[in-house]
Amino acid sequence: MPSAQNWLLLLTYEGTCYHGWQVQPNSPTIEDSLEKAVKRLTGETVKVHGAGRTDSGVHALNFTANFTAIAGNFKTAEKWRVALNAVLTCILVL
């Protein structure tokens, strides 16, 4: 079984349609979108940790976050970038 790896994300997003970074019940957030994207790709439930938080409607350029995953199919940062961008909305880009 592959060992868990810590992955750094460098994010740019247009936050108009999001209710900030932090997961909130019944509201779309950046953190929740990323966690759901990783689960969709790997089946793993992960916790994405942001370097800070943004409020509702706030945009970000070069926002950093990280998560730990086993995901043997994603051995390089480039594979993660391509896969996550394929399942995330066009307003959230890695």
pTM check: above 0.95: no
In the set 47, 55, 77, 87, the catalytic residue is 55
How many other β-carbons are positioned within 10 Å of the β-carbon of residue 16? 10
Which residues, other chains included, contact 53 with Cβ-Cβ below 8 Å and sequence gap of 6+? 20, 21, 22
**Residue 6 gets which letter from DSSP?**
E
32 catalytically annotated: no
The CATH number given to 5-93 is 3.30.70.580
Compute the chain's Rg from CA coordinates.
Answer: 13
Q: Is the pLDDT of residue 40 over 70?
A: yes
pLDDT of 20 strictly over 90:
yes
Residue 43 has pLDDT above 80, yes or no: yes
